[in-house]
Structure 1
Amino acid sequence: MTATTLAELAPVREFATRDGTRLEVRAAFAEDEALLEAFFENVSAEDRRFRFLAASRHVGHDQLYPLTHCDHWRTESFLAFDQQSGVLVASAILACDARMETGEIAVSIRSDCRGRGIGWAMLDLLGEEARKRGLQRVISIEDRDNHAAIELERERGFVPHGIEGDPHLVLLEKRFD
């Protein structure tokens, strides 16, 4: 008899993207580190730089640990799988402040899966999770050169703000009423 992992026991939520792609989304756990490491090899170098706000050829343990060791309330890391192929196509995180007022979000999508509405679906999921937790707002910090993410977030109701002292970054904010 084999041991059951937390990932196998995690609730799975199903979503459809705007192009009809069916996603299965679940929380990430410690045993997902190798899966996430392989996933980030299929994210473009530029998108890895945008996600971690630093150039990196390889996403290693130090960057993956916070994505795979969450408390599942104040911080939650989500994995989205293409339902048809079973391939991990997106990673998203919601990290809340200590007062549970603001959550910072980040999303990464496999390079070969961009343009299918996966980013929209993940932003909607993160917004839903933020509301469940009673947050007043979510923010995303983006490199000004990340035009695709900035435009996507603006389409989903985020408002851009400059970050004092850093002309290379922009803070996008979505408030909940």
Structure 2
Amino acid sequence: MTTNAQTRIKTRSGLDLSIRPAVPEDQAQLENFFDHVSDVDRRFRFFAASEHVSHNQLDPLLHADHFRSESYLAFDQASGELVASALLACDAALDTGEIAVSVRSDYRGKGVGWAALDILATEAAARGVRRVISIEARDNHAAIELEREKGFTPEPMEGDPTLVILSKTFR
């Protein structure tokens, strides 16, 4: 997917999504989106408890370099509402890419997270990334289960027993 390109996909529940890279003009919409992500999910995503997402937390989502990093937004085609945010951030060598996904509370369980993971994996592989990782809080059972179902393998996070790394290798 190239910058400003839009991809349309159907989730496993039949929800039609339009996915595109985020741009700086999406800031207000992204702030509103994170206000509709549960407090727990926001804490899992940013590893910080806060009522609202700060400008510093949003900045990497709005100013990706479109190669080593990319931020995607998923919209419900029927309502036009922003329902998910997905981030791919690769190291300088493009060997490992870290991924993160957030789904609006009222869209959980509809296959949106699955679709976002598929987009991130496809984009990482297209960039030649060897391995993608997701860093999760050990008590984020839903994300860990989803990632395991998508072929990710859990491993301990050295130095922090509260976190787990889930990884998937492409080659």
**Deviation of 1:50 (Å):** 0.2
The one-letter code sitting in structure 1 at the alignment partner of 2:22 is A
Counterpart position of 1:3: none
Counterpart position of 2:80: 86
Q: 2:120 aligns with which of 122, 126, 138?
A: 126
SS state at 2:162 partner: strand
SS state at 1:50 partner: helix
Is residue 2:34 matched to residue 1:51? no
Counterpart position of 2:95: 101
Q: Which protein shows a greater Rg? A: 1
**Superposition misfits of 4+ residues, deviation over 2 angstroms:** none
Q: 1:147 aligns with which of 141, 152, 156?
A: 141
Is residue 2:57 matched to residue 1:66? no
Determine the C-alpha separation between the residues in 1 that align with 2:60 and 2:149: 28
Q: Deviations over 1:95-140 (max 9, x none)?
A: 0000000000000000000000000000000000000000000000
SS state at 1:131 partner: helix
Q: 1:157 aligns with which of 151, 156, 167?
A: 151
Indicate the RMSD between aligned Cα atoms, in angstroms. Answer: 0.8
| TM-score, normalised via structure 2 length | 0.97
Determine the C-alpha separation between the residues in 2 that align with 1:134 and 1:167: 31
Determine what percentage of the aligned residue pairs are the same residue.
63
Counterpart position of 2:26: 32
How many residues are aligned here?
Answer: 169
SS state at 2:88 partner: strand
Determine the C-alpha separation between the residues in 2 that align with 1:163 and 1:75: 23
SS state at 2:58 partner: helix
Determine the C-alpha separation between the residues in 1 that align with 2:109 and 2:157: 28
Structure 2, gaps ≥5 residues long? none
Structure 1, gaps ≥5 residues long? 1-8
Determine the C-alpha separation between the residues in 2 that align with 1:12 and 1:134: 21
SS state at 1:130 partner: helix
Determine the C-alpha separation between the residues in 2 that align with 1:85 and 1:57: 25
Counterpart position of 1:76: 70
Is residue 2:163 matched to residue 1:169? yes
Q: Deviations over 1:6-47 (max 9, x none)?
A: xxx821100110010000000001111111000000000000
